[in-house]
Amino acid sequence: MNERPHRATARIEAHDEEENVSARPALRVVHEPEAIDLAAAETAAGQFLTALGISTASESLRGTPGRMARAYAELFSPRAFDLTTFPNDEGYDELVLARRIPVRSVCEHHLLPFVGTAHVGYLPGARILGLSKLARVVEHFACRPQVQERLTKQVADWLQTHLEPKGVGVVIEAEHSCMTLRGVQATGSSTMTSTLLGLLRSDARSRSEFLALTGVTA
């Protein structure tokens, strides 16, 4: 499958001159999609509904194509954020884990939503991460057409590259409406994926601790 490149960048933003020049600059994480044309999307949504035999002439459906366009634009537009890190002055070397981070994304095969939770943890190296940023990274990669396997690995790989911890673990459990609402109609089913890097993959004790805290059987 040929995957269309997704233009998302993490770049260094310069500090104000008044700030301490020795301080580590913030890593500004931004999403740079192709230009969004809401008017064209609204027209296409109307044509799509008409092609499926759904008239948009009634008062209640007249605005539906525009709402569809704006809804998908929102789903595909993650918010920019600063990856705030701090020196690990105390030499903390135990697991840091954020559990039950909400996940919402859209299956790239059917453009139907999948929702669930992510557990994201890491073993700190020289720096520690602002806790809210773990959720921000999940959102950053979830706000685009996705498959859960890729999403799980992208979050883990990105944290490993930009935080340089001793280990990273990501577990995502989600319900896919492309399975529950259509096709096999497997109501109540969920899909679980995981990626473990560094010591969370190679060290049995660290791996077991992470999996136990996320509720996954080691």
Which residues are part of the catalytic machinery? 107-110, 148, 176, 178
State both tokens at 105.
Answer: 């994304």
Contact assessment for residue 31 and residue 78, using Cβ atoms and an 8 Å cutoff: yes
Question: How far is Cα 201 from Cα 199, in angstroms, rounded to an integer?
Answer: 5
The pair phi, psi for residue 147, each rounded to 5°, is -120, 145
Q: Is 32 helix (H, G, I), strand (E, B) or coil?
A: coil
Contact assessment for residue 104 and residue 142, using Cβ atoms and an 8 Å cutoff: yes
Give the closest residue to 214 by CA, choosing from 167, 174, 175, 171.
Answer: 171
Helix 64-75 vs helix 38-51: angle between axes, to the nearest 10 degrees?
A: 120
Give the closest residue to 76 by CA, choosing from 177, 6, 178, 175.
Answer: 6
Contact assessment for residue 28 and residue 13, using Cβ atoms and an 8 Å cutoff: yes
Question: How far is Cα 109 from Cα 111, in angstroms, rounded to an integer?
Answer: 6
Name residue, tokens 């990856």.
83
